[in-house]
Chains A and B, each alone.
Chain A
Amino acid sequence: MLADLGEDARPLAGGHSLIPMMKLRLAMPAHLVDLGAIGELKGIRTDGGDIVIAAMTTQHELIADATLAARLPIIRETALAIADPQVRYVGTLGGNVANGDPGNDMPAVMLCLGASYHVVGTRGERRIAARDFYKGIYSTALEPGEMVTAIRVPVPPAGHGAAYEKLKRKVGDYATAAAAVILTQSQGRIATCSIALTNVGETPLWAKDAATAVVGTALDPATVKKAVAAAEAITSPAADNRGPAQYRTKMAGVMMARALARAKSRAA
């Protein structure tokens, strides 16, 4: 149906980004295709070393899922920082990652985790790495007629530490800046680390240099300072009513430092 209607049609997931945009006339799709009744787009399953989350799984369902809480706690922690209870009952993971809004929280988490998206379109199915998916504000690697159907997350090793730190002005706000961290440690030193940042650029940002800077260290203050500088260097936030650009860059560093410390404290 989406293919037949072409570019005039948009898939409707939870609608909690799209309907507000339609009210503002920032989006005026001629047709909406409601995905709500498609059972295959619901549910969370384990596939080898991956957890595969169907696109229409709501934030509320992510929060309630015991497997995710045990094996991928960063997803629950992030979902709890999104919007408010009513929105989380309806808003979906697929919508959050596919929308291309740099304010959405899950994209950075997926960059951090090295997730990939299952995409279905008229020409069949393909997978796109989250790290290759985001091209600009509301611009993604999706071609017309394509849709994200599932999110595939490689589960980090047991004993990993994770944290999502989000600075927001109030419940329901997008991040002034936020940071996702996944790390493992061995004898007090960081063995592996991945870091990503939310809402401090036109896309979510994978902070590779910042992560490299902490590997092999005990996360001493000098190292954290170096990592913060590396993270700040890749940001290019817009000034908005969350604050001037320079402030948001600084807050990205602060959120990352906090997330690093908290992730380390949680790692075995």
Chain B
Amino acid sequence: MAKTHVTMTVNGKAVEGLVEPRTLLIHFLREQLNLTGPHIGCDTSHCGACTVDLDGKSVKSCTLFAVQAEGGNLLTIEGMAAADGTLHALQEGFREMHGLQCGFCTPGMITRGYRLLQENPNPSEDEIRFGISGNLCRCTGYQNIVKAIQYAAAKLAGASVKEAAE
């Protein structure tokens, strides 16, 4: 199959590659860009482990072709921390609030949480649960994931994170 040239911005860097028309975005990210943070979980657009941010939308990269992201601006878990290694408030929240056990769902949860907080910087618990309803966790039962996102919301708002840590 003839390959197609794609260019996009991933985590602030211009990237390009040759892909088959059928190549899924998740395969392009993982196999050609070596960004293995986004995971392939269910491969049926249910679990959200492959979630990345594309042009201001949370998307499941297992259900998009790489060519559909042509010219797009992507953020993956690899782009969350600052250049000096300082964790993003969401990453810190997941660490502090024990928002992960096995960690498989975490990159998707954090990138989804990122877009959720962009759209709604002060979500209620219900809004967080609804907002992450496309991301499945099979370990922690969500309670600490919700707390981790609340922690990040508080930190990003400049508030004390103590309350979220209660």
User: Which of A's residues lie within 8 Å of B, judged by CB?
Assistant: 12, 15-16, 19-20, 23, 32, 34, 36, 60, 83-87, 89-90, 171-172
Contacts and interface: CB of A to CB of B under 8 A. Distances in A.
Given A85-B58, A90-B57, A32 B21 contact: yes
B148 interface: no
A34 B44 contact: no
Given A15-B64, A84-B134, A171-B134, A89 B45 contact: no
Interface of B is mostly: mixed
A253 to B, nearest CB: 27
Interface in B5-53: 21, 24, 43-46, 48, 51
A78 to B, nearest CB: 16
A87 to B, nearest CB: 6
Contacts of B46: 172
Contacts of A89: 57-59
B66 to A, nearest CB: 12
Interface hub of A12, A15, A23, A90 (most chain B Cβ within 10 A): A90
Contacts of A16: 45, 63
A153 to B, nearest CB: 25
20 contacts: A15-B63, A15-B65, A16-B45, A20-B44, A23-B43, A32-B65, A34-B65, A34-B67, A34-B68, A83-B134, A84-B133, A84-B135, A85-B58, A86-B45, A86-B112, A86-B134, A87-B45, A89-B57, A90-B64, A172-B46
Contacts of A34: 65, 67-68
B60 interface: yes
Contacts of B63: 15-16, 19-20, 87, 90
A86 B58 contact: yes
Contacts of A19: 24, 45, 63-65
Contacts, number: 62
Nearest to A80: B130
B110 to A, nearest CB: 14
Interface residues of B, number: 25
A179 B112 CA distance: 31
B134 A20 contact: no
A90 B43 CA distance: 16
B134 A23 contact: no
A86 B113 CA distance: 11
A84 B116 CA distance: 13
Interface in B97-153: 112, 116, 130-135
A12 B21 CA distance: 12
A206 to B, nearest CB: 30
Nearest to A19: B63
A34 B68 CA distance: 8
A15 B68 contact: yes
Contacts of B116: 85
B40 to A, nearest CB: 12
A60 B65 CA distance: 20
B60 A86 contact: yes
Among B43, B45, B48, B112, residue most surrounded by chain A Cβ atoms (within 10 Å): B45
A84 B48 contact: yes
Contact of A85 (B24, B67, B68, B133): B133
Interface in B49-88: 51, 57-60, 63-65, 67-68
A56 to B, nearest CB: 12
B60 A87 contact: yes
Nearest to B108: A86
Contacts of B130: 85
Given A86-B60, A89-B57, 16 more contacts: A23-B43, A23-B44, A36-B68, A85-B58, A85-B112, A85-B116, A85-B132, A85-B133, A85-B134, A86-B59, A87-B60, A87-B134, A90-B57, A90-B60, A90-B64, A172-B133
Contacts of A12: 68
Contacts of B65: 15, 19, 32, 34
